[in-house]
Amino acid sequence: MGVKVVKKLPEFGKSLKNNIKTAMPQIAMYLQSCADKKIRKGVPPENAPLTQAVKGGDKTLRDNGNLASSIAPHHGNDWADASTNAKQAKILQEGGTIQSKGKGLWIPAGSQTRKLMRKYAATSPGMLISAMKSDGWNMYKRGKAFMASNKTTKPFCLFIIKSSVKIPSRPFLYISESEENFIMRIINNSVMDSLKE
């Protein structure tokens, strides 16, 4: 998934193609920079209160840095793009509903769950629960909450179990009018440089 610029040259411009292609790497890098800037700035709407509590912050599209670092520039002779193969990119860009395919979606209930996942090197709810049980934690369900406690810790909600979660659209891969104008300046400069040769 990505954002792409394709510049098809008219017949009279085919002789410029070798020179135009020098602009495409620059455009690809610019598109990557634009996407990074959008993510750094934060794309509305704001995160839900639970998401902010889990992340320990209010920046949208920013969690562990995987999304931003996955955006890469690509180019050819007459095209340039910045795209990502991150699994979550499409739903974050377009929005939608994630449905459970089994026993529900297990959503971390707060930053404490994240800390425990790091402590036990767990990459899934099942891994965390198994590791915590082996470490003497008590686990039980209470309605849509999965609770945890031990001898020194009062019961707290570890995960919230839902059948579906709605993700709002937060587009970060698109070309704004000002970005399009800048890209056209890059192409025009490349054409002008080629005419000077």
**DSSP secondary structure code for residue 196 in this structure:** H
pLDDT by position in tens, the chain (length 197): 766 655 455 554 555 556 677 899 999 999 999 999 999 999 999 999 989 888 888 899 998 889 999 999 999 888 899 999 999 999 999 999 999 998 899 999 999 999 999 999 999 999 999 999 999 999 999 999 999 999 999 999 999 999 999 999 999 999 999 999 999 999 888 878 766 65
Domain boundaries, the chain: 1-94+169-197, 96-167
pTM of the model: 0.81
How far apart CA 140 and CA 152 sit, in angstroms, is 17
CB count within 10 Å of CB 73 equals 20
3 neighbors 175 (Cβ within 8 angstroms): yes
Q: Which residue has the tokens 């520039």?
A: 73
Q: Specify the DSSP element, H or E, that contains 24.
A: helix 23-41
